[in-house]
Structure 1
Amino acid sequence: MPIRHCIVHLLDKKPDGTPVVLHARDSELASSQAMENLLADLNESYNAKQGKAWGLFHEESGAYPFSGWLKAYLDGEQDFTTFSRQAVEHLQQLMEESNLSTGGHVLFAHYQQGMTDYLAIALLHHSEGVAVTDALDVTPAKHLDLGQLHLAARINISEWQNNSQSRQYISFINGKNGRKSSDYFRDFIGCQEGLDVPGETRTLLKAFSDFVESEDLPEEQAREKTKTLVGYATSQAKLGEPITLDELSGLIDEERPKAFYEHIRNKDYGMAPEFPADKRTLSQFQRFTGRAEGLAISFEAHMLGSKIDYDEGRNTLVIRQVPTQLREQLRRAQKGADR
Structure 2
Amino acid sequence: MAIKQLRTLFASQYQPGQPARVRPGEALTEPGGDYEALHKQMKRLFNSKPGKKYGRFSDDIGDSPFSSWLKDYLEDKQSFTSLTDRLFGQWQELLNGAQEEFEGHLMIVHEALADSEVVYLLILENDSAMRFDAKQTLDATDILSLSRLNLAARIELDDWRGDNPGENYLTLVHARGTGEGGDLFIKLCGFTNQVDVEKETVTFLDAVEAFAKTSEPEEAGKVRARAYEFCKEQHALGEPVAIEALSGYLDENQPERFKEFASQAAELPESGVLHPDHRKVKKLVRIAGSGGGMSVSFSSDLVNQAVYYDKDKDALTITRLPKALREQLQRYLENRD
Aligned to 1:275: 274
Identity among equivalent pairs (%): 24
Deviation at 1:17, TM superposition (A): 5.2
Residues 47-56 or 139-148, more deviating:
139-148
1:254 to 2:257 alignment? no
Per the alignment, in what secondary structure is the counterpart of residue 147 of structure 1? coil
Q: Tell me which residue corresponds to 1:220.
A: 218
Shift in Å at residue 75 of structure 1? Answer: 0.5
Relative distance call for 1:101 and 1:167 in structure 2 (3 A) is: farther
After superposition, the Cα gap between the structure-2 partners of 1:101 and 1:260, relative to the gap in structure 1 and judged at 3 Å, is farther
Alignment check: 8 A CA contact 2:204 2:276 kept: no
Deviation of 1:33 after TM superposition, in Å, equals: 1.1
Q: Does the C-alpha gap of structure 1 residues 229 and 44 become closer, same or farther in structure 2, counting only changes over 3 Å?
A: same
SS in 1 for 2:36: helix
What's 2:90 paired with?
90
Mark the CA change 1:244 to 1:30 in structure 2 (over 3 Å): closer, same or farther.
closer
Distance 1:43 1:121 in 2: 11
Match of residue 245, structure 1, among 243, 246, 250: 243
If the length of structure 2 is used for normalisation, what is the TM-score?
A: 0.80
Q: CA-to-partner distance for each residue in 1:65-88, whole Å, 9 max, x for gaps? A: 111100000000111111011011
Shift of 1:7: 0.6
User: What does residue 319 of structure 1 align with?
Assistant: none
Q: In the TM superposition, what is the alpha-carbon distance from 1:104 to its structure 2 partner?
A: 1.2
The match for 2:177 is: 177
Deviation at 1:94, TM superposition (A): 1.5
What's the CA shift for 1:268?
A: 4.7
- After superposition, where does 1:71-150 map in structure 2 within 5 Å? 71-131=71-131, 140-150=140-150
Deviation at 1:221, TM superposition (A): 1.3
C-alpha contact 2:55 2:167 (8 A) present in aligned 1: yes
Q: Say whether the 8 Å CA contact 2:13–2:20 is kept in structure 1.
A: yes
Structure 1 residue 110: Cα displacement: 0.3
Aligned partner of 1:115: which letter? Answer: D
Q: Is the 8 A contact 2:98 2:180 kept in 1?
A: no
Give unmatched runs, 5+ long, in structure 2.
Answer: 287-299, 317-337
* 1:287-313 C-alpha deviation (Å, 9 max, x unpaired): 5343279x988xxxxxxxxxxx968x7
Task: Give secondary structure in 2 for the equivalent of 1:146.
Answer: coil
For the pair 1:56 / 2:56, whether they are aligned, the reply is yes
Distance 1:164 1:90 in 2: 30
Deviation at residue 143 of structure 1 after TM alignment? 2.1
Partner residue in 2 for 1:25? 25
1:95 to partner: Cα distance:
2.0
> How far has the Cα of 1:150 moved from its partner?
1.3
- Output the amino acid matched with 2:212: V
Partners of 1:57 and 1:191 within 8 A in 2: yes
SS at match of 1:6: strand
CA distance in 2 between counterparts of 1:194 and 1:267 reads 23
TM-score by length of 1: 0.80
1:163 & 1:211 partners in 2: Cα distance?
Answer: 35
- Out of 234, 237, 244, the residue aligned to residue 236 of structure 1 is 234
Which shows bigger deviation, 84-93 or 35-44?
84-93
Shift of 1:188: 1.1
Change (3 A) 1:165 1:117: closer
The DSSP-based 3-state class of the residue aligned with 2:304 is strand
2:127 is paired with a residue of what secondary structure? strand
Matched residue of 1:5: which SS?
strand
**2 CA distance for matches of 1:149 and 1:292?**
42
Gaps of 5+ in 1: 298-308, 317-339
* Residue 144 (structure 1) shift: 1.0
Q: CA distance change for structure 1 residues 274 and 132 in 2, over 3 Å: closer, same or farther?
A: farther
TM-fit CA distance, 1:59 = 1.4
Q: How many residues align?
A: 302
Equivalent residues of 1:242, 1:275 under 8 A apart: yes
AA matched with 1:97: G
Given that residues 66 and 190 in structure 1 are in contact (C-alpha distance below 8 angstroms), is that contact kept between their aligned partners in structure 2? yes
Distance 1:277 1:101 in 2: 34
1:180 Cα deviation from its structure 2 partner: 5.5
> CA contact under 8 A between 1:3 and 1:111: conserved in structure 2?
yes
Give the Å deviation of 1:136. 8.9
- Give the Å deviation of 1:164: 3.7
What is the Cα deviation at residue 209 of structure 1?
0.8
Q: Distance in 1 between matches of 2:137 and 2:100?
A: 38
Whether contact under 8 Å (2:17, 2:98) holds in the other structure is no
Match for residue 208 of structure 1? 208
